[in-house]
């Protein structure tokens, strides 16, 4: 039996372009793991089962695709201990799937090469390949083309999952984006993001990254008023994050916003 920590992520930036020929959107995003995590436990079994989280579909799909690709005639027993909020823009399901893929692949007599594992991950969802990598990444194309990025890690993160926010499906968020012609000016925004990344020297320079194209929240300016040097929505939302220089100010902000929803104080990993 083996165990992996499946970390959440935040989008430090998300610039969204037009629909591609494959029906997905062109994106440029800066992805950062955070210490909030699920625990994924796995061991070989006669057939694949997933316990601990009744709503899972992506971990099972990941393992079924791995078994097919590896011509593996058995399965794996998986248990997920959930801590990452569901459907919150934090990538919890994708991270669980990536962790399960890595654990299961390691049990194979001949593990699949990284490039094949990445291909399986990309079929499952745009965030899954990111969780197979280490460190911060810039995601481009449909979100599965990744390049490592060196960005500061010396800050504290407050996450707020609003209690009054009804989570729309990611597809619905993108549909609304298309209806308002959000992709207009994508090339210019992507260029500004590239310039902002080049200008990063210290953590406070992350404040110069553009705001999330897909979603906004009134909690972001509240976090800034409480001392965050950057605050924005993660992914398609509804989670809002704030980056703080000092843990004490992060804890005060978390306490101030605790009545607004589920809150977490964490850090980049």
DSSP 8-state assignment for residue 71: T
Which value, to the nearest 10 degrees, does the dihedral of the CA atoms of residues 243, 205, 215, 226 take?
40
Segment 94-102 shows an average pLDDT of 98
Q: Give the torsion through C-alpha atoms of 141, 100, 51, 88, to 10 deg.
A: -30
Would you say domain 156-266 falls under CATH 3.30.70.890? Answer: yes
Q: Which whole number is the average pLDDT over 101-130?
A: 97
| pLDDT exceeds cutoff 70 at 30 | yes
Mean pLDDT value across residues 239-248 = 98
Q: Is 127 part of the annotated catalytic residue set?
A: yes
Average pLDDT for the chain: 96
Can you tell me the mean pLDDT for 243-249?
Answer: 98
233 to each of 14, 152, 202, 240, how far by Cα in Å? 9, 19, 21, 4
pLDDT > 90? residue 209: yes
Q: Is the pLDDT confidence value at 65 over 80?
A: yes
Asked if 140 and 127 touch (Cβ cutoff 8 Å), the reply is no
Active-site annotation holder among 38, 96, 127, 232: 127
Q: Residue 159 and residue 119: Cα distance in Å, rounded?
A: 31
Q: Is the pLDDT of residue 167 over 70?
A: no
Nearest CA among 45, 40, 261 for reference residue 166: 261
Instruction: Give the per-residue pLDDT at 94.
Output: 98
Q: Residue 169: what pLDDT? A: 83
pLDDT at 34 over 90: yes
- Mean pLDDT across the stretch 2-24? 97
Q: Is a pLDDT exceeding 90 seen at residue 162? A: yes
Contact between 91 and 75 under an 8 Å Cβ cutoff? The reply is no
Confidence (pLDDT) at 166 = 66
pLDDT tops 90 at residue 186: yes
- C-alpha pair distances (Å), 60 with each of 4, 108, 124: 16, 17, 11
Kindly report the pTM of this predicted structure: 0.96
Is the pLDDT at 164 greater than 90? The verdict is: no
The pLDDT value given to residue 168: 75
Q: Has residue 206 got a pLDDT over 70?
A: yes
Tokens of 156: 């504290």
232 is a catalytic site residue: no
Summarize the confidence of residues 169-184 as an average pLDDT.
Answer: 92
**Every domain of the chain and the residues it spans:** 2-148, 156-266
Do 156-266 and 2-148 have the same topology in CATH?
Answer: no
Average pLDDT over residues 25-54: 97
Nearest CA to 261 out of 229, 228, 237 is that of 237
* Overall average pLDDT of the 259-266 stretch: 97
> What is the share, in percent, of the chain residues with pLDDT greater than 70?
99
The predicted pLDDT at position 171 comes to: 86
Q: Which two tokens stand for residue 37?
A: 């995590």
**Mean of pLDDT values over 174-201:** 96
CATH number of 2-148: 3.30.230.10
**Residue from 9, 38, 82, 232 carrying the catalytic annotation:** 9
Strands (E), 20-167: 25-45, 49-51, 75-81, 137-140, 145-148, 156-162
Task: Determine the pLDDT at residue 1.
Answer: 86
Query: Which tens digits make up the pLDDT trace of 130-161?
Result: 999 999 999 999 999 999 999 999 999 999 99
């Amino acid at each position: 039996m083996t165990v992996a920590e499946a970390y959440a992520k935040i989008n430090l930036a998300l610039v969204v372009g037009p629909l591609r020929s494959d029906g997905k959107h062109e994106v440029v995003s800066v992805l950062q793991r955070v210490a909030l995590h699920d625990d994924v436990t796995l061991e070989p079994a006669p057939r694949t089962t997933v316990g601990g989280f009744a709503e899972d579909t992506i971990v099972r799909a990941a393992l079924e695709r791995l078994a097919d690709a590896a011509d593996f005639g058995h399965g794996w027993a998986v248990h997920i201990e959930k801590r990452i909020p569901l459907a919150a823009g934090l990538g919890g399901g994708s991270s669980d799937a990536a962790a399960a893929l890595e654990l299961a692949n390691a049990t194979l007599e001949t593990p699949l090469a990284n490039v094949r594992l990445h291909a399986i991950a990309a079929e499952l969802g745009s965030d899954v390949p990111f969780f197979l990598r280490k460190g911060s990444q810039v995601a481009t194309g449909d979100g599965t083309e990744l390049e490592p990025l060196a960005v500061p890690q010396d800050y504290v993160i407050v996450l707020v999952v609003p209690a009054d926010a009804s989570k729309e499906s990611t597809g619905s968020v993108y549909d609304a984006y298309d209806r308002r012609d959000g992709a207009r000016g994508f090339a210019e925004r992507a260029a500004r993001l590239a310039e902002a990344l080049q200008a990063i020297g210290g953590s406070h320079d992350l404040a110069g990254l553009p705001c999330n194209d897909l979603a906004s929240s009134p909690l972001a300016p509240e976090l800034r008023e409480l001392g965050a040097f950057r605050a924005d929505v993660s992914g398609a939302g509804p989670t809002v994050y704030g980056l703080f220089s000092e843990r004490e100010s992060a804890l005060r902000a978390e306490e101030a916003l605790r009545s607004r929803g589920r809150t977490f104080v964490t850090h980049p990993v």
